[in-house]
Structure 1
């Protein structure tokens, strides 16, 4: 499995990357804003969520580059949820498609889950589920320490679904490895145990 050496840069030079801007809040306050913003979104208090997200953007998340990536990933995912509440689905998908850096703190499980959720909001659940049933082939994009990245073209939605899949090992009550459910569908074999796939089940 390949190791991406950009991690070294993020750990050594975060001050150079992020230190050019003055920040008003501490990292503890910042993560508090993020948690509260998520709560506001769930309660459909979008104006309050936006205020909290803007405060989170004005937070100093410390000296570790990975912490900044994690925080900025959370901010982006919250902004996507706000856009979905405002029915801006295409903009949401464009943002989600640009979000990367899974190996360094970005929450790519949630990113991929939100991609499916946004497609469902845009096209309707049945259309999305049926569209994914017609997917068989995938192509590999990258091989990260976090997991492998794949791409599958969803013809019925005219959408290229890029996603990250971690290898998940199942064990029984005795700790013995349980074979995964292998099918003749390449996409299903990879996707069926990933968090986003729960949205595509019956």
Structure 2
């Protein structure tokens, strides 16, 4: 992890002590979280699903713990929740392999954090996949342009979408083009980023591309 980023996190911990909610997340079992956290409202885009309602403080703190603190327990909960919704949806043929593509982050963001939170969640999903159906393939989608965080923009700016942000190499995807692709993200807001990622993969002649996120 970037030393400046790590130092900043330590400073935050010193100034803002761990909240009761965050303490609770450390001991919460994944199945408990999946059961008690409020489920997400319908998404504003098609062929995508979210698990939890982001407006719930427990959920927003869960995402924050994964994204900025690299909390192992929060990541386990996130992976469990996404795996549960994946296996419960009729849209996916669980007898075939499914290609999981973590939503990529920019090089700048990776340098700041030292990790991609969506890749961490995907790895936790993989641990639950006893039959080897999930193929984790972060290399199949790249973010070629850095954009400001969606949460820092107003709604009109978010709806415009981050055009030209993603890239995929059709030579890499050729082997998997007949399979189902699922892009996973931590949060979907307006859906513009997920839409752009989905359309990028579809541009490589991948017919079945869906989106899953931990929260909305």
Give the TM-score, by structure 2 length.
Answer: 0.34
Higher relative contact order (CA 8 A, sep 6+): 2
Structure 1-normalised TM-score? 0.36
Work out which of the two has the higher radius of gyration on C-alpha atoms and give 1 or 2.
Answer: 1
